[in-house]
Structure 1
Amino acid sequence: MTEALLQIKGLRKAFGALVATDDVSLTLRRGEIHALIGPNGAGKSTLIKQIAGGLKPDAGEIWWGGQEITALSTVARARAGLGRTFQISALAMDYTVLQNAVLGALGRQGGVWRFFAPVMKDPDLLEAAMAALNRVGLADQAHRRTAELSHGQRRLLEVAVALTLAPRAFLMDEPMAGLGASGSKRLTGFLDDLRHEAPILLVEHDMDAVFALADRISVLVYGKIIATGTAEEIKAHPEVREAYLGEEVPG
């Protein structure tokens, strides 16, 4: 069995009486895409925030490359190689596409702040930023203000910013949102290749993309994982079909 780079053990997070993640355990193996699916409000984004370090779990452990990182900050996890794209855009809208990508590349150098004008003349940062933009098809938009991009283009820019960090694994929260059919198809192909560079924990509502991409799928319902398996196993799982895929299972 392929080695697990990321291990989640018994993670729990409650907000008052609402239990958002309830004893969640899962792994992300090298070279795979592990999709996390579930209805709205199932706790998917809350789980991703805990893995990324933005939200402290009430119980459980997070292990990364054989080391426990449960108490590490978001920045420390990013520096350790855990890359993230967000469900809600975290881009600097008044900056250009290239400026956003350069800031990501700067973070790879340790996040030491430098005056912005010199940063934009740094050949190494510019090269890393443009390479990432080229990979997602945004090189021709480099000097455009980010606020002028379509929603789908902003999603691609978020992926490019994550790429500049050269992460060892990706956490992706609904990267297909707003892309449309052609954009989703293109990003699906890109992620299919990207898994060989770094594994991906993928939260996604586009089930065509999930079933096309995922080596394994975990289904989260009311904070609990009710099933983990291949696409075919998940499609055939009675509890999943009833709770999430919206199908009535014959008695």
Structure 2
Amino acid sequence: MTEPLLQIKSLNKSFGALTATDDVSLTLHPGEIHALIGPNGAGKSTLIKQVAGGLQPNSGEIWFDGRNVTGLSTVARARAGLGRTFQISSLAMEYTVLQNAVLGAVGHSGAVWRFFTPVMRNAKLRAAAMAALERVGLVEHAAKRTADLSHGQRRLLEVAVALTLQPRVFLMDEPMAGLGASGSKRLTGFLDGLRSEAPILLVEHDMDAVFALADRISVLVYGKVIATGTAEEIKSDPAVREAYLGEEEAA
């Protein structure tokens, strides 16, 4: 297997007496989708925040493309190639769909902008934004106010904004949330093709999507990875079934 593009090494994060991340080590290789699953409160989103730079770990390291990025800011990591979609939308709801996508393209360019209108007139930024919207099927909604989109469409816009950053790794926190069966199926197909462009560290509760997409799955329980393996290995692991999958099947 090729060298990992992303390495999480012995990461620890506590909030007072609560251990949210307990000596977690993970790798993500080029062309791979590595899914992170676990019950609510397992620490999945907290881990993604540390990888993206929104939270600093108490100890451990995050390496990206052979570089220790543990001390870098969220913006610096994004510019280095870590693209994130959020569990809770970070979109500007009063802006149009196109305006949100253009802001992502601005972030990729590294340009400093002071006035919004001149940025919107930049043909190169608009072209990059429209290309991303077309890829996720939102180009016909470009002029629509983001607040008027459905929940599922906002999730797709989050992916489009991430695409404008042209990341080398995608960090995706529950992209299927609220999409419904048809929306999840469509996004699953899209992500399956996206892995060849950039590998994906995927936090997801939709187990059909996880088992369809993931090359490897890590199971997080109480902040600790209890198993890592293929979909078949995870399905048959007694500890995983007891801690998580049995609970999911009974739900």
Q: Shorter-chain-normalised TM-score: which range?
A: over 0.9
What is the match of residue 151 of structure 2? 151
What is the match of residue 27 of structure 1? 27
What is the match of residue 70 of structure 2? 70
1:205 to 2:189 alignment: no
Q: CA RMSD in A?
A: 1.0
Runs of 4 or more above 6 Å deviation:
none
Q: What is the Cα deviation at residue 114 of structure 1?
A: 3.3
- TM-score normalised to the size of structure 2? 0.98
Gaps of 5+ in 1: none
Distance 2:2 2:226 in 1: 23
Distance 1:151 1:58 in 2: 35
Distance 2:106 2:9 in 1: 32
Distance 1:198 1:114 in 2: 31
Distance 2:3 2:30 in 1: 6
| Aligned AA (1:230) | T
Verify the 8 A CA contact 2:113 2:119 in the aligned structure 1: no
Residue 5 of structure 2 aligns to a residue whose secondary structure is strand
Residue 63 of structure 1 aligns to a residue whose secondary structure is strand
Residue 244 of structure 1 aligns to a residue whose secondary structure is helix
| Aligned AA (2:169) | A
Distance 1:207 1:125 in 2: 36
- TM-score normalised to the size of structure 1? 0.98
| 1:102-251 aligned within 5 A | 102-246=102-246
Q: What is the Cα deviation at residue 111 of structure 1?
A: 4.5
Q: State the aligned residue count.
A: 248
Distance 1:225 1:115 in 2: 46
Distance 2:164 2:220 in 1: 30
Distance 2:187 2:114 in 1: 33
Deviation by residue 1:114-149 (Cα, 9 ceiling, x = unmatched): 311111111000000000000000000000000000
Distance 2:123 2:89 in 1: 27
